[in-house]
Amino acid sequence: MDHLTLPHHLRPRDGRFGSGPSKVRAGSMAALASAGPAVMGTSHRKEPVRSLVRRIREGLAALLSLPDGYEVLLGNGGATAFWDAASFCLIERRSEHVVFGEFSAKFAAAVGSAPHLDDPIVVASEPGTHPSPVPDDSVDAYALTQNETSTGVAMPVARPARDALVLVDATSAAGAVEVDPAGFDAYYFSPQKAFGSDGGLWLACCSPAAVARIEATERWAPPFLDLRTALAESRRDQTYNTPAIATLVLLADQVEWLLARGGLEWAAARSREAAGLVYGWAEASDFAAPFVTRPEMRSRTVATIDLDASVPLESLSAVLRANGIVDVEGYRKLGRNQIRIAMFPNVDLDDLRALTAAVDWIAERL
């Protein structure tokens, strides 16, 4: 089947639809090529790289409209490392986790195995839905996931209770959908998904309450995961150890690109349009349907679309791949006949239109 050749008009200009790592814009690559000689291969403790970090920290604060007193922290290791760091410096004794897919489950599991914390409360729901947090007096931190990348489910970012921190995994949402900073204390992400940069870093927008808790931490933490150190280094526009400088260049360029287009408001409107296009196509299709049945829970950045058994994912994705369209496979562990399509700001609406038309064309011929 993979010998099927898509007609030219059904070929997206860019075939990258992966949910992370996600499409990196040509403009970002050009920025990397031109900034490269001045920063690549130079010290992250010196001005050219530090000013790159400053652009990212200031750009994110502007993009997310962070109120005075909020600080942008960063470090190495991606969101996965931030979970472990949070277990030392942001969770005092007990956290509650809203679990509805692979990533939210991983944070809960990491905390569950930490000997220095009480067992977390886990509020879970079936894949394709999200649960609501349940206020509990014994909890000092609530862990939410704005967008479960594995299932394509989005949840609201709001405080479940007063007097507890709200830690939001925004890896596949930040920079692409709205958020009210009043609803979180740490809004953290890796930059290779919604932001279309490269992997290896974590960034966290922290409220004064989160900063205060980090500063008040008394327990030992592995130095690499110690947010007290990350806070001090970030304030100097540095990281504890050597960062991937290319990742910083791509992220700085992306943040400024978003700001130049109208910031979060522009990005969110664009995500709404993209989601309308993809879910609208699936709803009208006789072989495809949105996996998330409740429209209000559907992600506007990652669409999960179930396919009829007559359109096997393996054959479809083989044909797509042979035609330069990659990474639309659904999350492996969900075990469904499903495609997953990233609708991040970098993915062109015309390319999404071409993709859905290409899938129709292939489905007819399988």
Ligand X SMILES: *Cc1c(COP(=O)(O)O)cnc(C)c1O
d(CA 174, CA 193): 9
Backbone angles phi, psi at 30, to 5 degrees: -65, -40
CB 215 → ligand X: shortest distance, Å? 25
Binding mask 193-232 for ligand X (x = CB under 6 A): x-----x---------------------------------
Which residue type, as a one-letter code, is found at position 46? Answer: K
Q: Is 80 in the site for ligand X (CB under 6 A)?
A: yes
Read out DSSP for 290-307?
ES--SGGGB-SSEEEEEE
The residue among 152 and 160 lying less far from ligand X, judged by its C-beta, is 152
d(CA 61, CA 58): 5
Which of 28, 95, 145, 356 touches ligand X by CB under 6 A?
145
Which residue type, as a one-letter code, is found at position 336? Answer: R
Which of 6, 60, 79, 155 touches ligand X by CB under 6 A?
79
The residue among 319 and 334 lying less far from ligand X, judged by its C-beta, is 334
The residue among 155 and 354 lying less far from ligand X, judged by its C-beta, is 155
d(CA 98, CA 91): 15
Q: Is 149 in the site for ligand X (CB under 6 A)?
A: yes
CB 262 → ligand X: shortest distance, Å? 25
Stretch that binds ligand X, among 41-49, 73-81, 126-134, 251-259 (CB under 6 A): 73-81
Question: Which position has the token pair 């949105």?
Answer: 290
Instruction: Report which residue's Cβ sits closest to ligand X.
Output: 78
Tokens of 258: 């978003």
Q: What is the largest CA-CA distance in the chain?
A: 63
Q: How far is CA 204 from CA 86, 186, 230, 337, in A?
A: 11, 6, 10, 35
The residue among 12 and 20 lying less far from ligand X, judged by its C-beta, is 20
Stretch that binds ligand X, among 78-86, 177-185, 287-295, 305-313 (CB under 6 A): 78-86
Q: Is 130 in the site for ligand X (CB under 6 A)?
A: no
Q: Is 338 in the site for ligand X (CB under 6 A)?
A: no
Is the peptide bond prior to 21 cis by the omega test (within 30 degrees of 0)? yes
The residue among 169 and 285 lying less far from ligand X, judged by its C-beta, is 169
Q: Is 160 in the site for ligand X (CB under 6 A)?
A: no
d(CA 42, CA 305): 44
Contacts with ligand X, residue ranges (CB under 6 A): 20, 78-80, 103, 145, 149, 169, 171-172, 190, 193, 199
